[in-house]
């Protein structure tokens, strides 16, 4: 019994690791578009990010791997002065390609144009976009 606990202790500790991947300041302002439209946005280029998806013979938690890939993509996009990212495919062996865009005030997937301003009036201030609580949802595979 004691040997079993000693063997499982490192695996339990590794299961909670985030591998030091943290959001850079300002990267929370980079939006992720999963299946939305990016028409009208300026394409800045491709980002490919990777994290450890396995520890020895063990697969890491798929959701943690996906979350870390998104954090890295947002961090990279921030360095490119992008405000929107979109995955180009599913993660494979801990690597995932993304495309970075500048969309400005336009919200991807939104068909509502920005409100018109009357000449001589002050522009309206928009409230900052709400940020998520750290939970991500991912499109289902298959059909």
Task: Please determine, for residue 35, whether its predicted confidence score (pLDDT) is greater than 50.
Answer: yes
CB atoms within 10 A of CB 93: 10
Threshold 0.95, pTM exceeds: no
Residue 13 has pLDDT above 50, yes or no: no
- List of residues 6+ apart from 48 with CB closer than 8 A: 95, 96, 97, 98
| Pairing of the two strands 42-50 and 31-32 | unpaired
Which of 63, 79, 77, 81 is CA-nearest to residue 33? 77
Minimum mean pLDDT range among 12-16, 73-77, 82-86: 12-16
């Amino acid at each position: 019994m004691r040997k079993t606990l000693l063997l499982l202790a490192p695996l339990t500790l590794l299961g909670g690791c985030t591998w030091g991947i943290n959001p850079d300041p300002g990267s929370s302002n980079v939006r992720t578009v999963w299946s939305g439209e990016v028409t009208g946005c300026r394409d800045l280029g491709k980002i490919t990010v990777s994290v450890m998806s396995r520890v020895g013979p063990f697969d890491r938690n798929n959701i943690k791997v996906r979350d870390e890939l998104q954090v890295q993509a947002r961090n990279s996009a921030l360095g490119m002065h992008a405000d929107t990212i979109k995955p180009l495919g599913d993660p494979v062996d801990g690597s995932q390609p993304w495309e970075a865009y500048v969309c400005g005030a336009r919200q991807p997937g939104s068909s509502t144009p920005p409100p018109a301003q009357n000449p001589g009036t002050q522009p309206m201030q928009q409230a900052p976009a709400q940020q998520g609580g750290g939970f991500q949802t991912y499109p289902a595979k298959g059909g």
